[in-house]
Amino acid sequence: MIVVMKQTADADDTARVAQHIEERGFSLHISKGEARTIIGIIGANEHELDSDSFEVLPGVEKTMRIMQPFKAASRDFTQKKTVINVNGSQIGGDRVAVFAGPCSVETREQILETAYAVADTGAQFLRGGAFKPRSSPYSFQGLGHEGLEHLAEAREKTGLSIITEVMSVEDIELVEQYTDIFQVGARNTQNYPLLKALGRASKPVFLKRGLAGTLEELLMSAEYILSEGNMNVMLCERGIRTFETYTRNTFDVNAIPVLQNLTHLPVIADPAHGTGKWDLVNPISKSAVAAGADGVMIEVHPNPAQAKSDGAQSLTLKNFAALMKDLKRVAAAVDRSI
Ligand code: PEP
Ligand code: MN
């Protein structure tokens, strides 16, 4: 960390900062410029340094961190990209992983019909919410345990692995008995007790970006899971809230290469929540694959007009098949396969 002194700081101010550093057992390097003095702290574990304790000292203008605030999620932690293996399918490998299925598990027939169709046309993972984080308490809240049973039956019949959301610490044990991957939704990205508990769970975690979350906040949330020992975490760009109103959210394609540079964790794109409109899902999925996403999550419903949640952003089975064809061509153009 570097401490930047104010132009008006005097020798006493600098001496006080130096003493503060030495009292903590670190050494320092003072650099006196024309206009101001800069003090480098040497030998400190930056993650444990409290910048506030420096910034309150007289004469200090600001502190600057040299390292990223995330450790285990960082590229410095390992140069090798994390590849997550789930029942023989890889996430983060050469192939772009495909997660597809309805927003919510609604009926046994609905999830089975969708599962057969998406398995046939290129998905490896079946998504479907059994516990739904709805903005209104009066909206469909999901089938709960029964929905997990339907997902498990769909896995047995199609060979797809399943991913479903877990909303609270109390539900982890139940959901873990069924799912192959835990999904953490945008509304829970900063639910730290949930993240810590998932860090001690045995299944991979699919962590969505918060509703208006920065990429650093997303990486710090991943850090909560990783620091408890669960290293199988993937990150998901699902759009963020901006001032734009023509789309539900603003899909941030920047996030894909930015995260790929900052972290070794796989990065998945969710263009359905990122746009809120089914006819935007195809072009934005293509842009995500072109930008280097390790996977796409697509909402698919046999009859979107009848969907109990997110019908407007769901693809029909036919449109999903068409999307998979298009994505094959885009993936090939960037030396990937799907
Ligand atoms: C979902 O995947 O259906 C969902 C609720 O997503 P998000 O948490 O990104 O809103
Ligand atoms: Mn949804």
> For the residues 295-320, what does the mean pLDDT come to?
98
C-beta of residue 39 within 8 angstroms of C-beta of residue 45: no
In this structure, the residues whose C-beta lies within 6 A of any atom of ligand 1 are: 103, 129, 133, 185-187, 208, 238, 273
Q: Whose CA is nearest to atom 4 of ligand 1?
A: 185
Task: Write the single-letter amino acid at 39.
Answer: I
pLDDT number for residue 118: 98
Round the CA-based radius of gyration of the chain to a whole number and report it: 23
Residue 53 CB-half CA count within 13 A: 10
Q: Whose CA is nearest to atom 9 of ligand 1?
A: 186
- Please state the atom number of ligand 1 nearest to the C-alpha of residue 270: 9
> For the residues 107-111, what does the mean pLDDT come to?
98
If one compares 24 and 328, the residue with the highest pLDDT of the two is: 328
Of the pLDDT bands very low, low, confident and very high (cuts 50, 70, 90), residue 68 is: confident
Ligand 2 centroid to residue 223 C-alpha, Å: 25
Of the pLDDT bands very low, low, confident and very high (cuts 50, 70, 90), residue 233 is: very high
Q: Which helix (H) or strand (E) element contains residue 235?
A: strand 233-237
Of the pLDDT bands very low, low, confident and very high (cuts 50, 70, 90), residue 157 is: very high
Q: Whose CA is nearest to atom 1 of ligand 1?
A: 103
pLDDT number for residue 247: 98
> For the residues 268-287, what does the mean pLDDT come to?
98
pLDDT at 44 > cutoff 80 = no
Q: In percent, how much of the chain has pLDDT > 70? A: 100
Ligand minimally distant from the alpha carbon of residue 301: 2
Which stretches does DSSP call E strand in 18-127? Answer: 27-32, 37-42, 60-64, 84-86, 89-91, 97-101, 125-127
- Please state the atom number of ligand 1 nearest to the C-alpha of residue 309: 3
Q: Which of 265, 298, 288, 270 is nearest to 126 (CA)?
A: 298
Which whole-number Å values give the CA distances from 188 to 100, 133, 166, 231, 285, in the listed order?
21, 9, 9, 19, 24
Q: In percent, how much of the chain has pLDDT > 90? A: 93
- Residue at token pair 């046309």: 121
Candidate from 46-60, 74-88, 112-126, 233-247 with smallest mean pLDDT:
46-60
Q: Is 328 helix (H, G, I), strand (E, B) or coil?
A: helix
Residues 327 and 325: their CA atoms lie apart, in Å, by: 6
Candidate from 58-67, 160-169, 234-243, 269-278 with smallest mean pLDDT:
58-67
pLDDT digits (tens, 9 = 90+) for 136-148: 999 999 999 999 9
pLDDT number for residue 160: 98
- Name 171's Cβ contacts closer than 8 Å, sequence gap at least 6: 131
> In terms of DSSP H, where are the helices of 185-277?
192-199, 215-226, 255-262, 271-275
Single pTM value for the model: 0.93
- Name 154's Cβ contacts closer than 8 Å, sequence gap at least 6: 111, 112, 115, 126, 160, 162
Which whole-number Å values give the CA distances from 158 to 151, 307, 314, in the listed order?
10, 22, 21
- Please state the atom number of ligand 1 nearest to the C-alpha of residue 103: 3
pLDDT number for residue 45: 80
pLDDT number for residue 284: 98
pLDDT at 254 > cutoff 90 = yes
